[in-house]
Structure 1
Amino acid sequence: MADDVRELLLSTTADADPSTPLSAPDLRLLIDRLRIRSDRLHASALSFASSHRAPLAAALLRAADSSASSSSLESSLASALAPLSSSPGLSDLRELSDRLLAARRELRERQEHLAAASSVADLAARLRAARASPDPLAAAAAAAELKPLLVDPEGSGSSQDEPVVFGLLRNDWEQLVDELQVMLAKNLEECVEFAPEGGKVMVRTAPVGKSGGTPGVELRVALQALEIIDAVDYGMTKLADLMIKHVLVPAISNISVAVSVEELEKSGPQYPISILCVTPTEELQGYKDGSALYSRIIDIIKFVCETICGENITWMQSFSKLTWSRISDLVIKHFISKAVPHEASKLIEFQDVVRSTTEFENTLRNMMFISHEKRDGKLTQFVDDVEVHFAVRKRNEILVKARHLLVHYDYDNPLDACLSSARVAKELCYAARDALLLYKAIVPVQLEKQLDSINQVAAIIHNDFYHLSQEILGLAFEYRADFPGDLQKLVVFVDLAPTFSQMADGVLTRQIQLVTANLIEAIDGADGFQNTHQPQHYESAKFSIEQVVFILEKIHIMWESILPRSIYKRSMCYILGSVFSRITKDMLLIDDMAAEETLQLQGLIHLALENLSSLFLSLVENEFLDHQTWIELDEIIRPLKKFRKLAELLDMSLKSITAAWESGELTNCGFTSSEVQNFVKAIFADSPLRKECLLWISRTPS
């Protein structure tokens, strides 16, 4: 609003500042301009009213009439309601209205109950009529008509508020259907008779006797009735089982058989009678590619379709659903699996079997016996995967051979893979891997007792694992160039090498642990080599050394001829080092030695070294234990140098020992300052010289 006012003022003063406050002259000017504009608007309104006088007058008249009508209606309504509001019988009128509504509601409910009772009575009557009907087709049709009325089509069951009578009717209907199924299935069994000895089936048009105490019906009628109540599979089940057992199994499992069909035309309700026989024959023509076998099966299926199913597609498909999977399994078991070649070079000859099998399934599809779905093409799928089946057979042969030989890997198998197709080669490579893994899984379990004791078998197993770990690394490189191109990148064995190497290390480590434990136990028998100047203690210590020598020599003889040179040398050096370290430690821990005792200990050390001479020589290339040989042995068995030096110390004077320490000779042999001091205290009596030497040893850095 302020902006509009200022606009009126600025329209005449263009140079005025919008932010400047209005003065008194400006306000008077503004009032004059507003008055002029108001006069203009008033004149414009009068002009519009005068030019539209008639429409405006009519609108005003209609508004007045509406107002008068509204007042009249209000008065009339008040007059009409006045008697009702003042009448004492208004509550009676309302009560009468409620009673009328209740009566109408009760009438409607009774009508509904009457309709339900009528429906129940009708359903019960129809059930009784169906049960009493001598015609199975009529009974089946009645049961089928009653099904949507009594059975929930969605299979969700009856609702909780359903009348009990409907549940009873449903039970009666289910019982009726069950009785029909049993009676009609029995009727089928009486129409189709199988010879007890097998190989023969007789199909009659109608049963000879009665089914369940009632006259039998024709085979065709029984199947029609079963179809109406959706129970063809139920009726066909036993018939299909008997057909497999008595006809199809003999026809498929035997090579020298023939199928023949005979028709008996005589008077009687059960005629004509069709007979199918599977009889022995000497003809084998065409069996190599399966054509004769497939021809027999087709003849049997045609017989069933024509004489039992009456070429009805629904009945044929029911019989197929109950039998085709088992027929396929029988053909695979007794023919196709046996026809799979044993050699890769003969796989091309299997194409005749592929062709005849494909034609066989196509014939059955044309007969509408099987569908075009993948699940019905079981035979074709099997023959198309012949290379896989060939490879699986080869693989199983390899694994069986591996179970017996275990250690000896069949190196001809990779060559077979090189000469085979990619699929076969792939399976053979997997077989080679499985053979290796089979060895890894079986041997440790089978030879568990040997691996948990010190024996030669454990060393052999170590060698096998070690050898396989080395061979595995080169398998792919040795044969990869000859493998099919698509398989070259997939031929991988190197991932198995670490596993076998770890197994080899594990076996050897376990043996070393067992040997070391036995050696430590033998050394413990010396009771720390104390008091050897006493005969009893000396004998115990000597026996302990002899036990140690015996165990070491046993391992020497057992391992040297089996283990690889480097592994044997490394393992024996480790064991000898642990033995010499333990004996040296025990002798240095003796806190007091008599003069005679030092000689006894020195003799025990020399006894051990002399008796282990052959073992020492097995670790070096020399033939004699000369000075150079001992130097070499000291290098590869570090504790040996300290052990040999201890023998010298036991016969050295105090000054010589001190001089050896000062020169660093003892340090080079592995002695520590505390060990030398304790050794001096144990051998030499307390004296000024001993104190001086001990002080000198303690001050001289090692």
Structure 2
Amino acid sequence: MAARAGSLVAAVLAHSGRLDKEHLGARVGRLSRRVEELKGEVCTMINKKYSEFLPSMQSAEDLVAQVEGLTNSIDLLKAGIENEVQRDLNVAVAEFTELKQQLERDTLVLSVLKKLQEFDTAIKESSSALQEKQYVTAAQQLEQARSSLRSLESRRGFELKILKALGTELTVQTQNMIYHLGEEWQKLIVWKLPPSKGSSSLEALVLSELHLHTLPPQDEDAAVPPVAAVLQALAVLGELHSKLKDFGQLLLQYILKPLILHPSLEPVPEEQPDVFILRFRSQELALDESSPMEVFEKIKLVFEVLHKYLLNVPLEQPGEGRKEGRVTLAELLGELIWEELSDCLIHNCLVNSIPTNSSKLEQYKEVIESTEEFEKALKKMQFLKEDTTALLKYACNVDSHFANKKCQDVIMAARSLMTSEIHNTVKISPDSSVALPALPDPGSGDHVEVPRALRLLPSGTGSVGSESRLSPFTLCLPSCRISCSVQELVQLAYHTLLEATASTDLCCVQLFDCVRNIFQLFCEVVPTYHRENLQKLPQLAAIHHNNCMYIGHHLLTLGHQFRYRSTSVLSSGAATFVDLVPAFRRLGMECFLAQMRVQKGEILERLSSARNFSNMDDEENYCAANKAIKQVLHQLRRLGMVWQDVLPVNVYCKAMGALLNTALAEIVTRIAALEDISAEDADRLYSLCRIMVEEGPQVFTPLLDKDKNKKYQEEVPVYVQKWMTFKELMIILQANLQEIVDQWADGKGPLAEEFSAAEVKSLIRALFQNTERRAAALAKIK
């Protein structure tokens, strides 16, 4: 058995190098059969050993040796098979890979050659088509050549010098094509424009003309190609956008915008056998402003003729990412110029047509309808695509624009009034009728019901006698003069609020805020703009004081008057101006008090030249003091004339009283401070004081009627705090010791009311020599 196994293995190994003559399957099959035979023999041996108990150890050992030998033979065969197959397999794969790489190189070379052939063919066909003026074909072939070149440039390792030469050739051909198309474009669309200088003037614009040689040629062999071919070729080359952009800008500058900006211009279309001409005509009798309807008609006429002779050309748009590849020239031009055109229409046409009065808002519907019709016409010509444009939105939002325009006009008018001259005045009085809007009586019914808490007399009370009624002048402003501009400013506020109550809620709120802005603007503009005059000129300071009080007076009731006028948003109670009143009163007071300080400073400066009223027996000193007093009185008289009939009487008297009081207090202080007053000094001081007492009251002339001024001159002690002090000083200057003691009356007399004990003693020591009588008199002053 071992011999058989060995011979089998030897046979297998002998055939290991000749796989091509005998199939491996046959040899493996024989080996398998021998394994089966051996398996049977082993089973038989096992059965005999363990079932029949035949101790045949020798036989078992032989079988083990045979099995081991057969196992070794199998391992040798397996190794031989694996080595042989793997070697042959590696050789096959290497050969296949080399063949594949060779094939890929050949394929690459073929594709490159094919692309070169395509590039060359495209360039030749493009050049041939260009010579025959087949522009679309020529442009498409150029794009095909460009596509082939891009494909070549994407291949790595290709000869770059060839690519550079091809690129140069393509650029030259493309530029040549663009040049020819540009020439054709210039033949088709000819602009005859005015010289550059003064091209925006009306005379120059009338000379502008647009010639379109885009009429279909009557002769089929005509040299001029159809406009569609030129445009399509430009589109293919990507040059149409820049051509259209330039055309759109010229169209805006020389045709569309002039029609909007110059009402007298009118477009005149003219068709001739081989050309269409669009020119202008100037109307001599034209309005300063055209209505939007007229402007829309002119613009629509221009687009209609352009659409007929140029814009109604369908084009293929390559590489635009559009759902539909076809688009009209009108649509492309619309995308380029509509935004600028609509802005010009809004700012130079629709803005001017916005009414300035709410009563005309209803008529504006005609403009809205006209705008809508205008846009529909442009959409029909495919110039517009959007459903709603800025133009229509602007026209429809008329309420907001009306409010904005009204507010702008009001603010401009108010600012003009604030910067006008202050000294042009008008007299107002409690019974004067001011030209304000006629407001309904709170009891007339044309209002919101007045809350009971705001009624003058609660309902249900009995009639009140005439003696208990308020004066008709209660809460009225006193007679004075105010600037005409301020009266007009308040009238403007009333008229604006009157307009607000007749408008929509949105407009009403805007106009109300506008009126508040007017008054806040007044507080900022007037003191700044007129600062120098208000500081230098007392009359203007007084007028400004009155202006502020007048405005504040109206602000008290301005909101409430309109609150009860209608059921608008102003009736909610939030429409009030009362919060602005303190600011206006403070503004007027501060300006006038600043002027008062200036005048007081001048009075004290003049009195400082009186040499302290000392040594009046010296003629020079007396003349200086007399001159100072005369200058003060002259200053007061001048102020009285400046403020006369301007300030309210009570303000006038308080102001003049305060200034006269400043002078008297200064004189009293100076004289009371003297340490030695001779009899002659006392007489002269008395004469100076008498001038002040006699002429001082005469500066009180608040009214033009001299007779009526006497009442206020007699009431000088009411307005001049130091008046009685001054008169007591005059008494002391002329009295003897006993009279002074009697005037003191143990601290209960009139002298004690005006001077302190120390001041009286000081005057006594200055006026009288040191005697026992003076000592006795001084002892009584305590």
Q: Same fold (TM over 0.5)?
A: yes
Q: Hey, what's the Cα distance between the residues in 2 that align with 1:616 and 1:246?
A: 73
Which of residues 173, 188, 192 in structure 1 aligns to 2:189?
192
Q: Kindly tell me: are residues 454 and 327 of structure 1, through their superposed partners in 2, closer, same or farther at Cα, counting changes over 3 Å?
A: closer
Q: Tell me which residue corresponds to 2:245.
A: 237
Q: Tell me which residue corresponds to 1:301.
A: 303
* Structure 2 length-normalised TM: 0.58
| Offset at residue 683 of structure 1 (A) | 2.3
Q: Tell me which residue corresponds to 1:569.
A: 653
Q: Kindly tell me: are residues 229 and 595 of structure 1, through their superposed partners in 2, closer, same or farther at Cα, counting changes over 3 Å?
A: farther
| Offset at residue 381 of structure 1 (A) | 2.2
Q: Kindly tell me: are residues 150 and 388 of structure 1, through their superposed partners in 2, closer, same or farther at Cα, counting changes over 3 Å?
A: farther
| Offset at residue 680 of structure 1 (A) | 3.1
**Quick one: which amino acid aligns to residue 684 of structure 1?**
F
Deviations 1:429-465 (A, max 9, x none): 4554555556555554564453233443332232222
Deviations 1:102-154 (A, max 9, x none): xxxxxxxxx9xxx9xx9xx99xx99x979x96644444566688789999xxx
Give the secondary structure class of the aligned counterpart of 2:545.
helix
Gaps of 5+ in 2: 1-104, 131-137, 155-159, 194-206, 218-222, 316-326, 418-483
Deviations 1:565-589 (A, max 9, x none): 2322322232222222111111112
Contact 2:657 2:716 survives alignment (8 Å): no
Q: Tell me which residue corresponds to 1:580.
A: 664
Q: Hey, what's the Cα distance between the residues in 1 that align with 2:778 and 2:152?
A: 116
| Offset at residue 596 of structure 1 (A) | 1.2
Q: Tell me which residue corresponds to 1:599.
A: 683
2:617 matched to 1:533? yes
Q: Kindly tell me: are residues 510 and 373 of structure 1, through their superposed partners in 2, closer, same or farther at Cα, counting changes over 3 Å?
A: farther
Question: Which residues in structure 2 correspond to 1:508-657 (within 5 Å)?
Answer: 508-615=592-699, 623=710, 633-634=716-717, 636-654=719-737, 656-657=739-740
Contact 1:184 1:226 survives alignment (8 Å): yes
Contact 1:417 1:483 survives alignment (8 Å): no
Q: Kindly tell me: are residues 186 and 648 of structure 1, through their superposed partners in 2, closer, same or farther at Cα, counting changes over 3 Å?
A: farther
2:418 matched to 1:406? no
Q: Kindly tell me: are residues 129 and 559 of structure 1, through their superposed partners in 2, closer, same or farther at Cα, counting changes over 3 Å?
A: same
Q: Hey, what's the Cα distance between the residues in 1 that align with 2:621 and 2:712?
A: 31
2:353 matched to 1:356? no
Q: Hey, what's the Cα distance between the residues in 2 that align with 1:585 and 1:474?
A: 48
Deviations 1:207-250 (A, max 9, x none): 9xxxxxxx998654554455456554322222112222444346
Q: Tell me which residue corresponds to 1:204.
A: 214
**Quick one: which amino acid aligns to residue 234 of structure 1?**
S
Give the secondary structure class of the aligned counterpart of 2:685.
helix
Contact 1:144 1:228 survives alignment (8 Å): no
Q: Tell me which residue corresponds to 1:75.
A: none
Question: Which residues in structure 2 correspond to 1:113-262 (within 5 Å)?
Answer: 135-139=138-142, 187-196=184-193, 197-204=207-214, 219-224=227-232, 226-228=234-236, 230-249=238-257, 252=260, 253-254=262-263, 257=266, 260=269, 262=271
Q: Kindly tell me: are residues 524 and 189 of structure 1, through their superposed partners in 2, closer, same or farther at Cα, counting changes over 3 Å?
A: farther
| Offset at residue 187 of structure 1 (A) | 4.9
Deviations 1:72-119 (A, max 9, x none): xxxxxxxxxxxxxxxxxxxxxxxxxxxxxxxxxxxxxxx9xxx9xx9x
Which of residues 543, 551, 556 in structure 2 aligns to 1:468?
551
Q: Hey, what's the Cα distance between the residues in 2 that align with 1:488 and 1:149?
A: 80
Q: Hey, what's the Cα distance between the residues in 2 that align with 1:186 and 1:528?
A: 102
Give the secondary structure class of the aligned counterpart of 1:204.
coil
Q: Kindly tell me: are residues 176 and 505 of structure 1, through their superposed partners in 2, closer, same or farther at Cα, counting changes over 3 Å?
A: farther
Q: Hey, what's the Cα distance between the residues in 2 that align with 1:390 and 1:141?
A: 58
| Offset at residue 508 of structure 1 (A) | 1.2
Give the secondary structure class of the aligned counterpart of 2:564.
helix
Deviations 1:17-68 (A, max 9, x none): xxxxxxxxxxxxxxxxxxxxxxxxxxxxxxxxxxxxxxxxxxxxxxxxxxxx
Identity of aligned residues (%): 21
| Offset at residue 343 of structure 1 (A) | 4.2
**Quick one: which amino acid aligns to residue 366 of structure 2?**
D
Q: Hey, what's the Cα distance between the residues in 2 that align with 1:569 and 1:148?
A: 102
Q: Hey, what's the Cα distance between the residues in 1 that align with 2:730 and 2:394?
A: 80
Q: Tell me which residue corresponds to 2:756.
A: 672
Give the secondary structure class of the aligned counterpart of 2:212.
strand
| Offset at residue 515 of structure 1 (A) | 1.6
Contact 2:181 2:230 survives alignment (8 Å): yes
| Offset at residue 529 of structure 1 (A) | 0.8
Which of residues 365, 370, 386 in structure 1 aligns to 2:384?
370
Contact 1:185 1:234 survives alignment (8 Å): no
| Offset at residue 386 of structure 1 (A) | 2.7
Q: Kindly tell me: are residues 602 and 369 of structure 1, through their superposed partners in 2, closer, same or farther at Cα, counting changes over 3 Å?
A: same
Q: Which stretch shows the higher mean deviation, 389-398 or 178-187?
A: 178-187
Q: Hey, what's the Cα distance between the residues in 2 that align with 1:455 and 1:559?
A: 8
Give the secondary structure class of the aligned counterpart of 1:561.
coil
Give the secondary structure class of the aligned counterpart of 2:536.
coil
Deviations 1:196-217 (A, max 9, x none): 433543143899xxxxxxx998
Contact 2:267 2:298 survives alignment (8 Å): yes
Give the secondary structure class of the aligned counterpart of 1:407.
helix
Contact 1:340 1:350 survives alignment (8 Å): yes
**Quick one: which amino acid aligns to residue 550 of structure 2?**
H
State the Cα RMSD in Å. Answer: 5.0
Q: Kindly tell me: are residues 231 and 572 of structure 1, through their superposed partners in 2, closer, same or farther at Cα, counting changes over 3 Å?
A: farther
| Offset at residue 691 of structure 1 (A) | 5.5
Contact 1:200 1:275 survives alignment (8 Å): yes
Give the secondary structure class of the aligned counterpart of 1:234.
helix
Give the secondary structure class of the aligned counterpart of 1:525.
helix
Contact 1:203 1:308 survives alignment (8 Å): no
Contact 1:418 1:479 survives alignment (8 Å): yes
Q: Hey, what's the Cα distance between the residues in 1 that align with 2:252 and 2:702?
A: 75
Contact 2:542 2:592 survives alignment (8 Å): yes
Contact 1:194 1:246 survives alignment (8 Å): no
| Offset at residue 590 of structure 1 (A) | 1.6
Q: Hey, what's the Cα distance between the residues in 2 that align with 1:185 and 1:644?
A: 106
| Offset at residue 475 of structure 1 (A) | 1.8
Q: Hey, what's the Cα distance between the residues in 2 that align with 1:418 and 1:486?
A: 8
**Quick one: which amino acid aligns to residue 318 of structure 1?**
L
Q: Hey, what's the Cα distance between the residues in 1 that align with 2:180 and 2:657?
A: 90
Which has a greater percent of helix?
A: 1
| Offset at residue 260 of structure 1 (A) | 4.6
Give the secondary structure class of the aligned counterpart of 1:638.
coil
Q: Tell me which residue corresponds to 1:380.
A: 392
| Offset at residue 601 of structure 1 (A) | 1.2
Q: Tell me which residue corresponds to 2:568.
A: 485
Q: Which stretch shows the higher mean deviation, 396-405 or 409-418?
A: 396-405
Q: Hey, what's the Cα distance between the residues in 2 that align with 1:525 and 1:149?
A: 107
* Structure 1 length-normalised TM: 0.64
| Offset at residue 354 of structure 1 (A) | 0.9
Gaps of 5+ in 1: 1-110, 152-162, 208-214, 266-272
Count of aligned pairs: 546
Contact 2:543 2:646 survives alignment (8 Å): yes
Contact 1:577 1:637 survives alignment (8 Å): yes
